[in-house]
Structure 1
Amino acid sequence: MNEPYDPSAFPPLAVTVDLVLMTVKDGRLAALLQRRGEPPHDGDWALPGGFVGVDESLDDAAQRILVQKAGLTEAWLEQLYSFGDPGRDPRMRIITIAYFALLPADRLADALNDRDDLMLAPVGPGAALPPLAFDHGDILDHAVTRLRGKLDYAPVAFALLPPRFTLRALQDVHEAILATTLNKPAFRRRMIDKGWIEGTGEREAGGAFRPAELYRVSMQGRNPAAD
């Protein structure tokens, strides 16, 4: 005979969503951070996040937090990983689901201008990140590693570019994410061979030298979440 369910026999447990919103700013990979306004870690920097409602899906919670914390109404969000170390939060047992997004820097400009509790912090080698609340440093490291690992097999970098872009701009984005310099001819040949981009027949305006050709994402390259 089964014993009756006793909720008091289970410790309290909550679920949160944390967002890793990354962009390229001034040639560096950067992540959006928010200063916490309440304990624990009051005044420390953290990834934008919040608790998942009882009747709310994880994806809905991520979209709600995107609006509330970053002022963005829409963005491509990919579920990154779950983090559940029992001691990660001093309040209670809290499991967080991290979501990951790439956004052009201008998409974040309004939120950064309107609020003083948000900042873009460079990440990667040589970056001087402030101390982060909870295990958000580990979450951010995991996201950067995931992003770098996807660059060669999924067309994620195009989320950081305008609809028409030069090969130089595409290489700049890859170099910022990888924090290294790439061989120009080899990089361009690889991008074209993958079939992710196609020429537009147009050239960029201005410049003292021959204007560079403009490219766009091909149909084959339009799935940034491809595995």
Structure 2
Amino acid sequence: MSYPVFAVTVDLVVLTVRDGALHVLLVQRGCEPYLGRWALPGGFVHADEDLTTAARRELGEETGLDGPAGHLEQLGSYGDPGRDPRGRVVTVAYLALLPDLPSPTAGTDAAAAEWAPIGRRGLAFDHDRILADGVERARSKLEYTPLATAFCPPEFTIGALRGVYEAVWGGPIDPRNFHRKATTTPGFVEPTGRSTEGEPGRPARLYQRGEATRLNPPMSR
């Protein structure tokens, strides 16, 4: 019995918040196909590795970033027969939510790597679609899970957490209402007992992620 031959790749939608805006990690392709075009980081899965291992390896090889140290989950699979001009290639996409990291360094077959504001179009392959799916997944999950904290350092202020929601959802949020919801939703955040130091204005309390895996009641956009 014969089976069709096809390859498997992984692609990563790596999101972070920089300067108050949602950014995605992009690499500039250094080889064909789509030489010079921007794309999501990713590559072929080796015969001796599982999908998640391949995703972490590709992130490090193409960008110089270890990890990711934040949140990583499988986003979906994409298998349109014409998505890759090299042949029949199915990709499994991953979504990573990370705190702000240093600028990436291109490696292997990437000519450059950068954090780009969400909104760039014309990515290689079907990466526009994959990126759109990843951003919508992130926006949705911030409603009913505490994953907004994945964009934050281990200790953060409620104002910084609100900034994550504003960046991902793309609009302002009332500070008082957000503070009340964040601090009264069971298991969302927990006070550390410490406050900010060395910053202008009144010191702000520091919090860390709580034990909840789902928010009840959810945060509403």
Q: Name the CA shift for 1:28/1:17 in 2 (closer, same or farther; >3 Å).
A: same
Number of positions where the alignment pairs a residue of Structure 1 with one of Structure 2: 208
CA contact (8 A) 2:12 2:41 kept: yes
The Cα of 1:116 is off from its aligned counterpart by: 5.9
Distance 1:94 1:116, change over 3 A: closer
Q: List gaps (5 residues or longer) in structure 2.
A: 215-221
Please say if residues 36 and 46 of structure 1, whose CA atoms lie closer than 8 Å, have aligned partners that are also in contact: yes
Measured after TM superposition, the shift of residue 11 of structure 1 is 3.7
Tell me the amino acid that sits aligned with residue 35 of structure 2: D
Contact 2:75-2:94 within 8 A present in 1 as well = yes
> Pairwise CA RMSD of aligned residues?
1.9
Instruction: Work out which of the residue numbers 99, 122, 125 in structure 2 matches 1:131.
Output: 122
Q: Following the alignment from structure 1 to structure 2, what is the Cα–Cα distance between the partners of residues 54 and 208?
A: 54
What secondary structure sits across from 1:105 in the alignment?
Answer: coil
* 2:89 equivalent to 1:94: yes
Which of the two has greater helix per residue? 1
Deviations 1:141-165 (A, max 9, x none): 0000000000021111111111211
Give unmatched runs, 5+ long, in structure 1: 223-227
- 2:182 matched to 1:188? no
Alignment partners' CA distance in 1, 2:18 and 2:117: 8
The match for 1:217 among 201, 209, 214 is 209
Please identify the structure whose Cα radius of gyration is greater: 1
Which of residues 105, 110, 117 in structure 1 aligns to 2:112?
A: 117
Using the TM superposition, give the Cα deviation of residue 15 of structure 1 relative to its aligned residue in structure 2, in angstroms. Answer: 0.7
Residue 125 of structure 2 is aligned to residue 140 of structure 1: no
Correspondence for 1:176 among 162, 167, 186 = 167
Q: What is the TM-score normalised by the length of structure 1?
A: 0.85
Deviation at 1:58, TM superposition (A): 0.9
Equivalent-residue separation in structure 1 for 2:202 and 2:48 (angstroms): 58
Residues 211 and 63 of structure 1: CA distance in aligned 2, closer, same or farther (over 3 Å): same
**Could you list the per-position Cα deviations for residues 18-53 of structure 1 after superposition, in whole angstroms to 9, with x for gaps in the alignment?**
011111111110001001111111110000110111
Q: Kindly tell me: are residues 39 and 182 of structure 1, through their superposed partners in 2, closer, same or farther at Cα, counting changes over 3 Å?
A: same
